[in-house]
Structure 1
C-alpha cells in the first residue's frame, strides 16, 4: 500500500497510489506499507531506487542499514510500536532519501506515525519538502521514545515504593486475660493473611518489572539505531539542508543522546528493583526455613533421650524403676522447652 503526500496550494494532501499509476506532481513523501513486489518494481522504475525487502531491513550490520546508492541514501532504524498497550514491539523503518522525494518503507503501523501524518495534513507549514518530512518523522520517533520512557519511569517509581514500603506491624498496648488471647489469635491470623498477600504481590511485582525491563530495552535499541542514523544523516544530507534544518537535526541528535543515557539509567534501576524483589522473597523463604530449623533443633534432644532408653542393653537400672517412664517423659519435655526458651530470649523466633 502506497500513500503519496503531495504539496499543493501550500498544503499537504494524502493520496492513495496504485502500482503503475502516475505519481502526482508535488509529491514530497511516499509512505510504503508492506510493499508487494509489483509496488517495489514500480517505485524502482519510477524513481531509480531499489527498495529494501523485509529481510534486508532486519540486517544488523551498520553497512546494511546505512548506505548510499547513486543519489539515494538508505537509512534503516528500529522504531517502537504498540508500546501504549503494554505489548511493545520493534518494527523496522527505512528512509530512502532521494534528491526530491522521501520514501518510507515499513512493515509495521506505529500510532505515532499516523499522528504525525495527521498533523502534517492539518498544519500547512509543518512539511514543506522531503527533508522536512524526514526531520518531522525523526522528531515523532524521539517524542514517542521519550513518552514510553516516562511511562516506564512512573511504573518503576510505583514498584519501588511497593518493594521498599515498610509496614508498621506495631499495634496498641496488649490487653490482658482472655481478651488478650483472642486478639493475639486474630493478630496471628492477620499476619498469615498479610504474608500470603505480600507473596502474591511480589509475584506481580516481578512480572511488572519484567515488562518494564523489556520495554526499556526495546526503547534503547530504537534510540541506538536513531543515534547512528543521525550521525549518518548529517554526513549525507547535511549539504542539502538549510540552516534551520541542520539545527533541527542537531537538536534531534542531542535529544537522542540524552534519552540513551536516561534509558541506561532506567535499565540499571530495573535490574536493581529485580534484585531487591528477589532479595525480599529470599528473606521470606529464609524465615520459613528458620521455623523448620528451630523445630528440628527443639526435637533433637527429646529424640536423643528416647533413643538412649530405646537401646536393648541388659543392665539399664532405670528400666526396672517405677519412676523411669515419667522421668524420661519429663526429661524429653524439658529438653524440648529449653531450646525454645533460649531462642525466644535471643529473639531468634
Structure 2
C-alpha cells in the first residue's frame, strides 16, 4: 500500500497511488506499508530513490542505522508491536526512513500506531507540517509516547502482582513466568528506546537537515528518552526485587511444609518406639501376661504423643 501526502496552497492531500500523483504540488511524505515489488519500483522510479529490502533492514548493523549524505538522509529503527501469534508477546519490526528534498519516505511491513497517529495529526492540524523532517520528528515523538505507555503498563502490572503477593498467595510457576515475561518486555522496550536514542542523537548532529526549532524538539526527545531509560532501570530493579520476594516466599512455604512433616514424624516417634518394644514376641516378656496390657499400651502410646505435642507447643515450635 502506498500513501502520498502532498501540500498545496490550502491543505494536505492524500494520494493512494502513483497515477493520482501531482507533480505541481509539494510532496511531504511517501509511506509504503507492506508494499508489493511493483509499488516499490514505481516509487523508486518516480522519486529517484532506492529502498533497502526487509532482509537488509534486519541485518543492518547498529552502527550503520544512520546514514547522511549530501542529497539524502537515511535512518533505520526497530518498532515494538504486539505479537498476534502470542497474546502477551511483542516483536520488533524494522522501519526505514529517508529524507530527500524535504520529502520523507518510509518503508515498513506492519501497521504501526505511531504512523496512524501521525496521519490523524496531519488531517486535524495540517498547518503544523510543512516538510518531511517535521513528520519524521512527530513519528518519533509519537513512538516515544507509546513506549512510555508500555512502561507505565508494566509498572501497573508489577503493582498489581505486588499487592497480591503474600504468604497466602498462590505461589506457582505461572506467576514466576509472568514476572519473567515482564522482564523480557522491559528489556525489549529498553533496547528499542536506546535504538531511538542513537538515531535521534545522530539527527541532532546532522548538518543542515533540521531547523533550529526542529533541533530543539529533537533535544527534548532525547531528554524524554533518558527519562524512559531511567524508568526501565527502576522497573528492572522492581522486577528483581519481586522475583526475589517470590522465591523467598516459596522457600518459606517449603520450610513450613518440611516443618509440618518433621513435627508429625517426631510426634509419632515415641508411639513407634513403644509399639516396637511391645511388638517383640519374646517368651520372657512380662507384659505378655498382663490382663490390661493392651489398653495400657494404647494409653501409653496416646500419652506419649500428647506429651510430645505439649513440649512442642511450649517451645513455640508449632
Would you say same fold, with TM above 0.5? yes
Counterpart selection for 1:105 from 104, 107, 121: 107
Q: Which residue of 2 aligns with 1:181?
A: none
Query: Take 2:246 and 2:61, find their aligned partners in 1: how far apart are those partners?
Result: 37
Aligned length: 314
- Using structure 2 for the length normalisation, give the TM-score: 0.87
- Using structure 1 for the length normalisation, give the TM-score: 0.80
Counterpart selection for 1:325 from 282, 290, 294: 294
Q: Which residue of 2 aligns with 1:186?
A: none
Q: Which residue of 2 aligns with 1:80?
A: 80
Q: Which residue of 1 aligns with 2:131?
A: 129
Counterpart selection for 1:233 from 198, 203, 207: 203
Query: Take 2:32 and 2:110, find their aligned partners in 1: how far apart are those partners?
Result: 11
Query: Take 1:285 and 1:11, find their aligned partners in 2: how far apart are those partners?
Result: 69
Q: Which residue of 1 aligns with 2:222?
A: 253
Q: Deviations over 1:260-280 (max 9, x none)?
A: 111121122122223223332
Please state whether the residue corresponding to 1:58 is helix, strand or coil: helix
Deviation at 1:207, TM superposition (A): 6.0
Q: Is residue 78–residue 221 contact of structure 1 (8 Å, CA) maintained in 2?
A: no
Query: Take 2:112 and 2:82, find their aligned partners in 1: how far apart are those partners?
Result: 6
- Residues 1-349 of structure 1 aligned to structure 2 (within 5 Å): 1-18=1-18, 22=21, 24=23, 25-59=25-59, 61-68=61-68, 71-82=71-82, 88-163=90-165, 195=168, 198-199=169-170, 206=176, 209-235=179-205, 237-349=206-318
Structure 1 86/115 Cα, relative in aligned 2: closer, same or farther at 3 Å? farther
Q: Is residue 72–residue 99 contact of structure 1 (8 Å, CA) maintained in 2?
A: yes
Q: Is residue 76–residue 95 contact of structure 1 (8 Å, CA) maintained in 2?
A: yes
Deviation at 1:138, TM superposition (A): 0.9
Deviation at 1:205, TM superposition (A): 5.1
Q: Deviations over 1:170-208 (max 9, x none)?
A: xxxxxxxxxxxxxxxxxxxxxxxxx5xx328x7775565
Structure 1: 5+ residue runs without aligned partners?
A: 167-194
Query: Take 1:211 and 1:256, find their aligned partners in 2: how far apart are those partners?
Result: 23
Query: Take 1:122 and 1:238, find their aligned partners in 2: how far apart are those partners?
Result: 31
Deviation at 1:55, TM superposition (A): 1.8
Q: Deviations over 1:193-227 (max 9, x none)?
A: xx5xx328x77755654454343223212101101
